Amino acid sequence: MNPLTLRQASGIVDASLAHAHELGLRPLAVTVLDAGGNPLVVKREETAGILRPQIAHAKAWGCLGTGQGGAAGARHANRDPAFFAALATISEGRIAASKGGALIRDGEGALLGAIGVSGDRPDNDEAAAVFGVHKEGLAADVG
C-alpha cells in the first residue's frame, strides 16, 4: 500500500472546490488528512466562515477516529447521542459526526486518509468531498 501523496491530496481538494463552484455551493473549507490524521492539504475559500477549516478537520478526523464515513457517523450519533457526546469529550472536541466527511481508500480498499468539507448543507459538503476523491481515482467511503 502506498501512502496518500501531497499531489493526490491537492488534486482532491482542488476538484472538490471546483465541483462546489459548479453546484453553486456556499464558500467551503476542505481538508485532507493522511491515515495517521496529519493534515496534507487545507484550503479555505476567502469568504468561508472562520470556523470552517476546524469543522472540516473534525469531520475528517472523526472518520479516521471511528473508522467510518461521516454519513455512518451521523446516523450513529442520531441513534446514540450520549455515546457521541462521550467521543467529543474523549477527543477533546476534535470529532464531528456529520456528512461531509469520508474515508479515502485505494482500489483494494486500503485506508489512505480522510477528507472533510464544511460550508454548505451536509449533503452538499458530502457531494463535493466524494467528487474530489473520485476525481483522483480513489474511493470515498461515506458509510
Q: Indicate if the pLDDT at residue 19 is higher than 90.
A: yes
Q: In the chain, where are the structural domains located?
A: 6-141
Residue 61: what pLDDT? 95
pLDDT of 47: 97
The DSSP string of 77-119 is HHH-HHHHHHHHHHTTT----STTEEEEE-TT--EEEEEEEES
CATH number of 6-141: 3.30.450.150
Asked if 136 contacts 2 with a C-beta cutoff of 8 angstroms, the reply is no
pLDDT of residue 102: 97
pTM of the prediction?
Answer: 0.94
Rounded average pLDDT over 36-54: 97
DSSP, collapsed to helix, strand or coil, labels residue 140 as strand
- Lowest-confidence region among 46-55, 89-98, 106-115: 89-98
For 106, other C-beta atoms within 10 Å of its C-beta total: 14
Give me the pLDDT at residue 136, please. Answer: 98
